[in-house]
Structure 1
Amino acid sequence: MTVETFSEKPVIVAGAGRSGLLAARLLAGEGARVTLRDDRPRADVEASLGEPIPAGIAFLRGMPGEGEVRRSALLVVSPGVPREKLPLSALSAAGVPVWGELELGFRRFQGKVAAITGTNGKSTVTTLVGGMASGSFPKVFVGGNLGTPFVAAAGATCEWGVVEVSSFQLESITSFRPRVAALLNLTEDHRDRYATKEAYFEAKMAIFRNQGPSDTAVVHADDPEVTARLGSIRARLLPFSVSRALEEGAFLSGGEMVLRRPSGEERYPRAVLKIPGLQNVENALAAIAVARSMEISPQEVLAELARFPGLPHRVEFVRSVAGVSYFNDSKGTNVGAVLAALDGFPEPVVLIAGGKDKGVDFRPLRPALGRKARAVVLLGEARDRMARELAGAAPITVSGTLAQAVRAAAEAARTGDAVVFSPACSSFDMFRNFEERGEAFRKAVEELPG
């Protein structure tokens, strides 16, 4: 791909989070005249970043207007800035390209890309594949929506970039073309950003938009929303399934994870996985399919499956108190994640849930709660609506703080139960992020007597 440069040209970066600052730095380093914009005051932005905005980059508060964008050569939009906040008609009329940080990173990256998206599991699969790739290739970038923004790898010469991508990032791609792309699942999320769940699903499907027949699309064969959209994919399909054997693809067969392709069949023992639950078998199957499509050796695939300890805040065991086990799934920020977490517990569960209300429908939780839940403890901005939509599925208690919710769950639980903190909501009503929320849960559990 020809690298388009913006030396001496005016460029706007909308959104001054970590990825926005890295994009601004990259373009300024290439000689562009960069203006960084954010709705927050400069002092708040710098406090959030933990560093000052570099002297060579201008900062203006608020999003750009029509006149400013008409004079610009490029607008880079950060994932956290909805496109509706930009003067899109003026940008279009002036022919100004609008790239996300993902697109900018891709255009500057020297290497092949494997990209992973989905409502749930993408950080686990990205980390698994990244570990497998790091054992097979001399230089690999692992990051994206998980950890280090992709634009940080600009100019780096790597064999592969293993990149987690979100729907927000995929809204602003034009040429982004992963050699291997994986869609793990599709469940309703981010209704505070998307008017319909279909709009959110279509944003996710953009990961396949620029692929061709020489590329590979790893897809979840058990997810009806994924399989309903396979007709638009031009890449070679490599499905995965935990429910049935596949003529071609990755699937669970008894105690083995099988990859079947025209070149032959490979088997990996399920027992090597340290990460619990059927959802993590799905994640492992997806990782196997992605990694082998990247030509990572079976030996490295098996080695990483066996050593991967799991990621923090994802159905993470905290401790047992009085015969009750406590699990931190603070990353469970949507209904699909909670359903997957509940599915991994054969014992009765006391669920702690609630947080920022993203406008999703909580009623799909009702059947699982009816089967699994001894009680439900709700907190946060969404608690009242959740209580209404879940009423009757299980006994419900409402708490004001996370510490109170943990104590209420401990009172409701019986010996042999699991208390699972899986919020079905984002954290931003009470915490800065899901990590801070998970640490607060862990602390509250550690403070329980017993």
Structure 2
Amino acid sequence: MVVGLARSGVAAANLLARKGRDVVVTDVKSAPELKGSITELDPSVRLALGGHPEGLIEGAELVVMSPGVPSDLRPVRLAREAGVEVMGELELAWRAFEGKPFFAVTGTNGKSTTVSLLALMMELSGSKCLLGGNIGRPLAAEAAAGESADCVVAEVSSFQLETIDRFHARGAAILNVTPDHLDRYPSMDGYMAAKAAIARNQRDGDVLVLNADDPGCAALRDSHIKDIPGREVLYFSRSNEVKGCFIRHNEVYFATGSDDDGALIKCESIRVQGVHNQENAMAAVLLARAAGCKREAIVEALREFPGLEHRLEFVRELDGVRFFNDSKGTNVDAVLKSLEGFLDQKVVLIAGGRDKDSDFTLLKQMVERKCRAVVLIGEAAGKIETVISGISGPLVIEHAS
């Protein structure tokens, strides 16, 4: 049984069907609401839509949850009580790839950029890798299509990590941990525990990469990361020399105690700019080296990678005004990192949208330093205005819809 017919649910159902399993998909939405998803399903998949009928789990051998499905949903809870195995789409896909090494990245921000850059480093080194997970196609869809690869590069969210069991990452990175999705998790500790699961099943010879500058990463490491004999823990930092990757005199250094240690590339030579992208680049470097990527391929990727859409993406310059699209900055920390990358106080910030129970007080100091005007939109507009309205100086605040 597959619970939730979104992209991951469709991918999981099709993978199971193509392995000869008898599959039923259930969702609270009705068939008309799910018309687009239904057309993508294998014809053998049965549907139980518009709710979760009584007796649905009778005879079930496996329940696969789509990311975001609450763990206390009744059919999931009943399945666990009946001793039925419950897993997520990520776990299912990992098992389907049958031993291919996974290099997985999680964190509140920067995941998509980091995995895309890492995949390019691997390709330039001559490895055939699959990129998927929370970016591109679900990994179960790649497995169902029978795609072959030397390794898998996976962007994984906290939602996906909630439902892993044996999932194993040869290389894992946690980029940062700041408040997000607190409308789902009862506390920051619950959110951190979900993120930390990426490293739970690592073993001797594996690599874990952490952000040495991020207080959330430090708290997660101290409370949720267990010591594993033989696993190497590496760090990246913009401010301190650490074992791993760091910036000194505006140059990225690689330092793990290997013969390859030393200066790697000047920061201005990295094509994607911004302090947050320096961090993403260093994380990608460390995972790439763990995967055996060639030094010259890593440097070439850093010079050539253009970045991703909607992530501090330069749009155009008009009448002396530069426009940037940072619409993927959907939490406070992402906005802070983006604003930090601008060197002067000339930014007009358009902000707002959905409120995920975020602490907008963290914006106040950076907005005061970097912005001359703020345009507020969406349900979070009033909450943000309350925070920034007390800023001293000539800050213009407008509302738009």
TM-score computed with the length of structure 2 as normaliser: 0.92
CA contact (8 A) 2:193 2:220 kept: no
Distance 1:258-1:50 versus aligned 2 partners, 3 A rule: farther
1:242 aligns with 2:238: yes
Partner of 2:92: 104
CA contact (8 A) 1:144 1:164 kept: yes
1:300 aligns with 2:297: yes
1:190 aligns with 2:181: yes
Partner of 1:411: none
Partner of 1:261: 256
One-letter amino acid of the structure 2 residue matched with residue 285 of structure 1: M
Partner of 1:82: 70
Kindly provide the CA deviation profile for residues 163-203 of structure 1, in whole angstroms up to 9, marking residues without a partner as x. 00000000000001100000000010112211222211211
One-letter amino acid of the structure 2 residue matched with residue 315 of structure 1: L
Partner of 1:351: 349
Q: CA deviation at 1:318?
A: 1.5
User: Which of 11, 14, 32 is 1:22 aligned to?
Assistant: 11
Distance 1:218-1:52 versus aligned 2 partners, 3 A rule: closer
Distance 1:87-1:286 versus aligned 2 partners, 3 A rule: same
User: Which of 274, 281, 291 is 2:278 aligned to?
Assistant: 281
Structure 2 CA distance for aligned equivalents of residues 298 and 185 of structure 1: 25
User: Which of 245, 251, 274 is 2:246 aligned to?
Assistant: 251
Partner of 2:399: 399
Partner of 2:114: 125
Structure 1 CA distance for aligned equivalents of residues 124 and 11 of structure 2: 28
CA contact (8 A) 2:2 2:23 kept: yes
Q: CA deviation at 1:44?
A: 2.0
1:72 aligns with 2:60: yes
2:57 is paired with a residue whose SS is helix
Kindly provide the CA deviation profile for residues 378-420 of structure 1, in whole angstroms up to 9, marking residues without a partner as x. 001221222223321374534342xxxxxxxxxxxxxxxxxxx
Alignment of 1:160-179 (within 5 A): 160-179=151-170
Q: CA deviation at 1:101?
A: 0.6
Distance 1:375-1:50 versus aligned 2 partners, 3 A rule: farther
2:105 is paired with a residue whose SS is strand
Alignment of 1:329-368 (within 5 A): 329-348=326-345, 349-368=347-366
- Range that drifts further, 87-96 or 14-23: 87-96
Partner of 2:325: 328
User: Which of 4, 29, 42 is 1:40 aligned to?
Assistant: 29
Unaligned runs of 5+ in 1: 1-11, 402-450
Structure 1 ranges of 4+ moved more than 4 A:
none
One-letter amino acid of the structure 2 residue matched with residue 165 of structure 1: V
Unaligned runs of 5+ in 2: none
CA contact (8 A) 1:28 1:57 kept: yes
Kindly provide the CA deviation profile for residues 262-305 of structure 1, in whole angstroms up to 9, marking residues without a partner as x. 22314222232111111111111111011001111111111111
Q: CA deviation at 1:213?
A: 3.0
Q: Identity of paired residues, percent?
A: 41
Structure 1 CA distance for aligned equivalents of residues 352 and 367 of structure 2: 15
Q: CA deviation at 1:138?
A: 4.2
TM-score computed with the length of structure 1 as normaliser: 0.82
Structure 2 CA distance for aligned equivalents of residues 150 and 390 of structure 1: 42
One-letter amino acid of the structure 2 residue matched with residue 91 of structure 1: A
Partner of 2:129: 140
1:68 is paired with a residue whose SS is coil
